[in-house]
Structure 1
Amino acid sequence: MVAPEVALTFPFPGSTYLGPDPEYARMRAECPVAPVALPDGRQVWLVTRYEDVKAASTDPRFSRAETFHRGVEPFPGMSLVPPEMIISTDPPVHSRLRRLVMKVFTAHRVEEMRPHIEKVVEGLLDDLEASERPADLVSTLTTPLPLTVICDLLGVPAADRGRFHGWARQFAAVGGPPEQIQEGIARLSQYIAELIEVKRAEPADDLLSALITARDEDDQLTEQELVVFGFTLLGAGFDSSASQIANSVLALLAHFPDQWRLLCERPELISDAVDELLRVVNLFGTDTTGFPRIATEDVEIGGTVVPEGAIVLFGLTSANHDETVFPDPDRVDVTREARSHVAFGHGIHRCLGAQLARMELQVALAGLVRRFPGLRLAVPESSLQWQHGDVNHTVLSLPVTW
């Protein structure tokens, strides 16, 4: 298949938390793998169909590390991260890092956190119930829940937890000045470096202490990799979850109230509902994660040859709305079996925190439908304020009443 001429400018303007820009549906039907133009005239290639996204995600010829080796200049929606971050690497470096973190960040360890997460949610919902109405669900639940959980997991002292919230927001502001993003990364790195020294002197039963042991005793991490691992988990470990929880509740209340009522009546559907919400509700501000890859040789994908050296982005949200895989894809159906979604990515770069993020959404949603079945928006949806230029669709406040 011959790729069409470049006619579109990326990022597309019609992306919302409810789904990707409608242009992706046309691309899936007519040109599923195609180049689009950046505002500065450069090209990036978009992969839009579900099967193609999965295939490309596991193809080693699409390299993350090459984006650093070849000095890819930033573009709107591109996540600016250091080359030592696990998402920035290819095997064998990536394999070493992932083996290490999965050794200490095990599925068993995450599942053991469920009672603690349930306790955190109950406390936050107690405060919500006692608050004046309308109440802001972002400040009372969707932000403090993942923030508390990731800090507890890493062993961040309670007194420090307010310090890095703003730095993490800078880190996520891909539409802002690059120096602002770099400042956020630098401040997070400095904080983690200081915390590492504290935990070296006084180790505890937390994930950061376990990573320090791997660095100091097993020599499996460089000091820089250790710092980057820490701020990756800290900075990225709560921001995406906070946005996903808020956007999921908003979608149910504002657009799929029948599905909200069904969950209130049948809370046993929560687990399937969470995967369906992860599939439908669009976390990504550009419909992609913002982590480009480079084709290290000519690669045929979806019947189209992507040329060597091309910058490539995987449309995860488009893949999750592929009508050939998920009938009536723009609708939330909490009875649908949607575990095959790619909201967390696919292949070696699948999100390390997927199980934790899914659990947080499960526990938060279960608590809300049980204790606040009459929950509803307190303002018109059109009046909600969103963070512009962010890597995620981030609503700044979510006034609710009940």
Structure 2
Amino acid sequence: MAFPFPHSSYRGPAPGYSRLRAEEPVARVPVATGGHTWVVTGYAEARAALSDPRLSRAAFYRADAPEFPGLLKAPPEMIASMDPPEHTRLRKLVTKAFTVRRVERLRPRIQELVDGFLDAMAAGGDSADLVAALSSPLPITVICELLGVPADDQEQFGLWARQFASVTGDPERAREGAGRLAGYMAQMIAVKREEPADDLLSALIAARDEDDRLSEQELIVFGYTLLGAGFDTTACQLANSVLALIAHHPEQWRRLCEHPEEVPAAVEELLRAVNLFATDTTGFPRLATEDVEIGGVTVPRGEPVFIVLSSANRDPALVADPDRLDLRRTDSRHLSFGHGIHRCLGAPLARLELTIALDGLVRRFPGLRLAVPESDLVWHPGDVNHNLAALPVTWAAPAH
């Protein structure tokens, strides 16, 4: 079987990973377009690989790095594409602005937004498209308000972010999306530099460590990195989590409606079990800069390595019966936000949005169910994430 393995879905990684995880958690496998790569599928092995500085992110974004189908090649200036010491410097500066306190201050506003979106759903009758009504507008509004992007520009910003995130379409179109995001962000930075406001972009401009500060290009790239990471991933995770619950685990949905205090734990289990990435080649590959031993296996210098987070989250060493969704689990050591120096900066914000949105849904719409057969649902082809075009739901009393 050639990598990337087929039959991945939002419900879980490709079935072939379970065999690799059990028999060969660090394995050399053929690639569909030729050559080979290493895939890391076990939980302990993935944590070790994510923490090993000899597995370089920056090396994978050089012009001479190997190509893979479905691979999102991030700009080399993006924080996700850097190694220390450049990564250390940038993350230190960014962390000064993107603090847990700043995120927590958003709680009342996120609650207000969720309440407003759910009010509009209820006022519109007994059915809605949950993507258009909640899962898409919530994170784009939050991240744009956090950055200081005007409300009138938010829809266009979201379209450019989706264009940039395409991995199987026209590469020129993806580059065009990145260019439009960068151009807009450059204009925003110029405005904020002249007229600072109480927003993240102004805080990033002001962030400094002694005489060091973010360069213009670093500000631009980090601004649209936050937009893409803070919008698309949360939107897809929310829609896919609700779909998993109402289509395949209605008994757990009903329990959550009866016990909404369990929503925070449920969010963690959904982060573990719902597979966000549409292709495992989008999972931030690395290149071995020297021979590296992982789980007793030596990966030679110069070899590509993919750390399959969705597979590591299904390791029996992490949780018992890992293929079963159990919203009452209390272990949240999943790797959905990564691990080590590249652990997702936006994890607290994503958790906050997912928790408030899911809490609102179970309290307001306990009768929520799919309005169409699941086979009728349409997914955006070629995206980094499993991305629903629409999620038609209803809460009308079922006909007898």
Matched residue SS, 2:52: coil
Equivalent residue, structure 2, for 1:53: 46
Q: Work out whether 1:383 is the aligned partner of 2:342.
A: no
Equivalent-residue separation in structure 2 for 1:311 and 1:380 (angstroms): 40
Give 1:346-385 correspondences, 5 Å limit.
Answer: 346-385=339-378
- The partner residue of 1:393 within 386, 389, 392 is 386
**Does the CA contact (< 8 Å) of 1:188 and 1:235 recur in 2?**
no
Matched residue SS, 1:34: strand
Equivalent-residue separation in structure 1 for 2:136 and 2:34 (angstroms): 38
**Does the CA contact (< 8 Å) of 2:278 and 2:386 recur in 1?**
yes
Q: Deviations over 1:166-188 (max 9, x none)?
A: 21111111112221211111111
- The partner residue of 1:336 within 329, 333, 341 is 329
Q: Work out whether 1:75 is the aligned partner of 2:65.
A: no
Q: Work out whether 1:307 is the aligned partner of 2:291.
A: no
Q: What percent of counterpart residues are identical?
A: 62
- The partner residue of 1:280 within 270, 273, 276 is 273
Q: Deviations over 1:245-274 (max 9, x none)?
A: 000000000011111111111111011000
Equivalent residue, structure 2, for 1:3: none
Matched residue SS, 2:39: strand
- The partner residue of 1:17 within 10, 13, 16 is 10
Q: Deviations over 1:299-347 (max 9, x none)?
A: 1111211111011110100000112321111221111013100001111
Equivalent-residue separation in structure 2 for 1:288 and 1:131 (angstroms): 40
Equivalent residue, structure 2, for 1:4: none
TM-score norm. by structure 1 comes to 0.95
- The partner residue of 2:91 within 98, 102, 111 is 98
Equivalent-residue separation in structure 2 for 1:164 and 1:37 (angstroms): 38
Structure 1 segments (4+ residues) deviating >6 Å = none
Give 1:154-233 correspondences, 5 Å limit.
Answer: 154-214=147-207, 218-233=211-226
Equivalent residue, structure 1, for 2:134: 141
Alpha-carbon RMSD across the aligned residues, in angstroms, is 1.5
Equivalent-residue separation in structure 2 for 1:80 and 1:130 (angstroms): 43
**Does the CA contact (< 8 Å) of 1:80 and 1:181 recur in 2?**
no
Q: CA deviation at 1:288?
A: 5.6
Matched residue SS, 1:116: helix
Amino acid at match of 2:365: F
Greater shift, 118-127 or 279-288, is seen at 279-288
Greater shift, 243-252 or 325-334, is seen at 325-334
Equivalent-residue separation in structure 2 for 1:67 and 1:115 (angstroms): 40
TM-score norm. by structure 2 comes to 0.96
Equivalent-residue separation in structure 2 for 1:328 and 1:289 (angstroms): 26
Equivalent-residue separation in structure 2 for 1:67 and 1:182 (angstroms): 18
Which structure 1 segments of 5+ residues have no match?
Answer: 1-7
Q: Work out whether 1:293 is the aligned partner of 2:294.
A: no
Equivalent-residue separation in structure 2 for 1:132 and 1:10 (angstroms): 46
Q: Work out whether 1:107 is the aligned partner of 2:94.
A: no
> Do the aligned partners of residues 287 and 68 (structure 1) sit closer, same or farther apart at CA in structure 2, a change above 3 Å counting?
closer
Equivalent residue, structure 2, for 1:268: 261
Which structure 2 segments of 5+ residues have no match?
Answer: 396-400
Matched residue SS, 1:45: strand
Q: Work out whether 1:254 is the aligned partner of 2:227.
A: no
> Do the aligned partners of residues 249 and 288 (structure 1) sit closer, same or farther apart at CA in structure 2, a change above 3 Å counting?
farther
Amino acid at match of 1:120: L
Matched residue SS, 1:163: helix
**Does the CA contact (< 8 Å) of 2:283 and 2:308 recur in 1?**
no
**Does the CA contact (< 8 Å) of 1:300 and 1:306 recur in 2?**
yes
Q: Work out whether 1:31 is the aligned partner of 2:24.
A: yes
